[in-house]
Amino acid sequence: MTTIYLDAGALMVAGGSAAAGSESVGADAARMISHLLTFGHEVVLVGDRERLDTTRASLPIARRVPQLEVNDELDGVESDATGWLVSDSAERCAGARSHRKLKTVLVGGAATGNLAHRPADRLARSLADAVLDILATEAMPETAPGSQGGAQDQDDEADRSLVGTEPGAQ
């Protein structure tokens, strides 16, 4: 089980049927949270009080999601926390990358030309893209460069057992 910290801002979209300049929860937010919960991940909402209240009121599924109110520096999240942070704030992602073990996804953020100063580990156009990326990554974790996979290890063992077993050599 992995903990996914969802910034309330990543669940919000500008415009829609709401009044101009207002924010509302994205139509697919409940479905995406449901996917994360279905696959056994813990989902924690983070953000300022106003956005959290709006989010929880707009999402019936939010009753199953723990609430953790934090500020932009993620003070409420333990320093050794692992998992993912999904946010629409480049500053929040950058803070999580430099002070936490969290992998970060910036939703709606534009890629910068300088990769050394990217604010997040991953960029996503939407919450749906971010959730699908997390689910795929958690289902198929990358192996470390230079390490051999399990199948290669089995082949090596089979090769060692064949050494010195030429016909008639006993």
For 110-164, the pLDDT digits (tens) are: 655 555 567 888 999 889 999 999 999 999 877 655 545 544 454 555 445 445 5
pLDDT digits (tens, 9 = 90+) for 32-51: 998 999 999 999 888 877 77
Domains and CATH numbers, the chain: 3-162 (3.40.50.1000)
Q: What is the pLDDT of residue 166?
A: 52
Q: What is the pLDDT of residue 21?
A: 45
Bridge partners of 85?
A: 5, 104
Q: How far apart are CA 59 and CA 77, in angstroms?
A: 23
Q: With contact defined as beta carbons under 8 Å apart, do 124 and 107 qualify? A: yes
| 8 vs 75: which has the higher pLDDT | 8
How buried is residue 140: exposed, middle or buried, by Cβ count under 10 Å (0-12/13-18/19+)? exposed
Cα torsion 89, 93, 94, 100: sign: positive
DSSP state string for 74-111: -TTS-TT-EEEEEES-HHHHHHHHHHSEEEEEEESPPP
pLDDT digits (tens, 9 = 90+) for 14-23: 433 444 444 6
Q: With contact defined as beta carbons under 8 Å apart, do 103 and 94 qualify? A: no
For residue 126, what are its two tokens? 């939407």
Q: What is the pLDDT of residue 116?
A: 57
